[in-house]
Structure 1
């Protein structure tokens, strides 16, 4: 099905040049970890990747002043977002709304790998534990 969600003649390019940055060293050994601030690319989102082979391991409880979307690209994770507990696996996306404390952990078996989209031009975080 062909998409036509808007009229392209109504959008004026803002003059930004295309940009590229390295999120992680793909020649190294996975799991991957890294981040690229949106301001590096001249864009409004920051991209992180998080990976671990250790079951039960994940980022500490933290909060952001903006939304964060988590894309599970490999394995299974348990997300703790406010009072909600959400299990997700490769191919699924979880939203962490702004101002809501969250964390996640590898459910196993095997590797967990995520791509995390921070809806901010830079990574801003307060750890809570």
Structure 2
């Protein structure tokens, strides 16, 4: 038992840079996740709803990315999200929640889709509540 601490200290001393990199990476991932959750909570509380159009769907080594755009107060914005939505989704319309004070802060609500045949007239300032035309479905 008295050998274990010496071996641990030797291991740490020999690999201190590797350990530091692993710990720093873990802390960065945790911090990014924390701030993303905080941003999502603000958008959920103060956000309005707009129609988002899928413009591109890409499969990468890190997963699948959906690129979308939406219009808010006459200006077009673009964003992306790592999510799996299935095959041919380019052109599909989904609900996007936008922070009115900073429309770059937004989130795609992939559970709320507008059917292709549904004619939706979005208010320029977005909807305060989820519109009836947005159909909820499980992912």
TM range (shorter): under 0.3
Q: TM-score, normalised by structure 1?
A: 0.23
Q: Compare relative contact order (CA 8 Å, sep 6+) and give the higher one, 1 or 2.
A: 1
